[in-house]
Amino acid sequence: MQNDEIINKINQLLIEEIEIDEEQIRQDADLKRDLGIDSLDFVDLFVIIENNFGFKMKAEEMTDVTTLQDFYSYVIKRVNPN
């Protein structure tokens, strides 16, 4: 899967499943502060990503993920490990 396909899919999932406004979706957006993703949203997001991309997310791997770009990079690395 190409990187831009992954990013577009993540954006669509954020809009449709987490109900983030499309205009809030920016690479530099802080997941908590700018997008308002709280701990319950993170649980939902983990399940949504696992179901759509086929890998298990681990909370301890997310400690350095603060921005949407960090999140994109994390998912891209897991989907395309090479």
Structural domains in the chain, CATH included, are: 3-79 (1.10.1200.10)
Q: Using CA atoms, how far apart are residues 61 and 64, in angstroms rounded to an integer? A: 8
Task: Tell me what pLDDT residue 62 has.
Answer: 87
User: Taking the chain, what is the end-to-end CA distance rounded to the nearest angstrom?
Assistant: 12
Tokens of 24: 């809030």
Q: Check residue 63 and report its DSSP letter.
A: T
Sequential pLDDT tens for the chain (82 residues): 999 999 999 999 999 999 999 999 999 999 999 999 998 999 999 999 999 999 999 889 888 999 999 999 999 999 998 7
Q: Are the CB atoms for 31 and 38 separated by under 8 Å?
A: no
pTM: 0.91
- CA angle 26/30/31 to nearest 5° reads 95
Rounded to a whole number of angstroms, the CA Rg of the chain reads 12
